[in-house]
Structure 1
Amino acid sequence: MKREETTKFLSELAEKHINPYNDPRIYWAREVTFDYATTHAIRVDYMKFKPVNNTVSGIEKGDFYCYEVKSSVEDFRSKNGHNFIGDYNYYVMPHDVFIKIKTEIPYKVGVYCPCGNELKSVKKAVRSDRERPVSEMLLMMFRSAKRDMIRT
């Protein structure tokens, strides 16, 4: 499979994993950009927000999940796409890539690999202390989700 096809396949599995039933109560977005129009802008491939509940404090205590798709060892070793700013952070990659680079994955970062037509966890993420406020994270997710709504 070519790199573009692998990336597309992994991205489709990530979207299915994040929101398997196309539920509008699942809050997520793709290609979420932070610090836009600066020299240090970053883009997270996929982000999901899981509030504790829909109260103010439940939203403030919610968790952000970040997913970075890596289709090859070269892709993993590139400088791009290691933007782990969530409470839980994951790579999504083919299992053969994971086997080759597993010692290079930071301790707190988890990994999902394809198993048939779904993703399976091969390394569990450890909670990180997020540095960005809920309001900024949600605003950037909203902006990216809105962009995708306009495209369709």
Structure 2
Amino acid sequence: MSQRPEITAALSAAIEKKINPYNDSRIYWAKEVTFDYSTKRAVRVDYIRFKPVNNSVSGIEKGDFYCYEVKSSVEDFHSGHGLNFLGDYNYLVTPSDVYEAISKEIPYYVGVYTLDGQELTCTKKAKRHDRTKPVSEMLLMMFRSAARERRK
């Protein structure tokens, strides 16, 4: 029996705690955010966090999106699903041993958080990457995903 579901759950819990450690409503984030819904190009990002510069119009427009993709195994990384790096800063969240196995395959701009036991560590810092989606679309898709979570 695979431990993949348990590893994925541990990685997800760790990144949720990293994104919003005190359950602060002023931290804007969502999980399982789908883009290009109902098209052949639909993709889902595991976690997205939005950091506005401030709450002015220009501060929101200049904000940054942080995308996190959770990969529990080398097979999961190679599956062809979920390497959707759509943010200004993109991170892979994975166990330490998986990172060691795939480190040379990760795009240069993608950062890495590794989980060793219960500790989540930034092993590689992300570099800014030009996103292709506008702020309005990113926020709308985050809002839609967050609303789905509230309905559950």
Smaller-chain TM-score bracket: over 0.9
Structure 1 residue ranges, 4+ long, deviating more than 2 angstroms after superposition: 115-118
Partner of 1:81: 82
The Cα shift of 1:94 comes to 0.1
Is it true that 1:91 corresponds to 2:92 in the alignment?
yes
The answer as to whether partners of 1:87 and 1:128 remain within 8 angstroms in 2 is yes
Note the C-alpha offset of 1:119: 1.5
1:92 match: secondary structure: strand
Q: How far apart are 1:130 and its partner, in Å? A: 1.0
Residue 116 of structure 1 and its aligned partner are, at CA, apart by 4.2
The aligned residue for residue 28 of structure 1 is 29
Give the structure-2-normalised TM-score.
0.97
Count of residue pairs the alignment pairs up: 151
**Does the alignment pair 1:71 with 2:72?**
yes
Quote the offset at 1:75 in angstroms.
0.4
TM-score calculated relative to the size of structure 1: 0.97
2:18 maps to what in 1? 17
Cα shift at 1:47: 0.3
Q: Which residue identity lines up with residue 5 of structure 2 in the other structure?
A: E
User: Which residue number corresponds to residue 139 of structure 1?
Assistant: 140
Whether contact under 8 Å (1:89, 1:110) holds in the other structure is: yes
Secondary structure of residue in 2 paired with 1:137: helix
Aligned residue in 2 for 1:120: 121
Identity value in percent: 68
RMSD: 0.9
1:39 corresponding residue in structure 2:
40
2:113 touches 2:121 (CA, 8 Å); kept in 1?
A: yes
What residue ranges of structure 2 are gaps of 5+ in the alignment? none
Note the alpha carbon deviations across 1:69-109, whole angstroms, 9 max, x for none: 00000001110010000000000000000001100000000
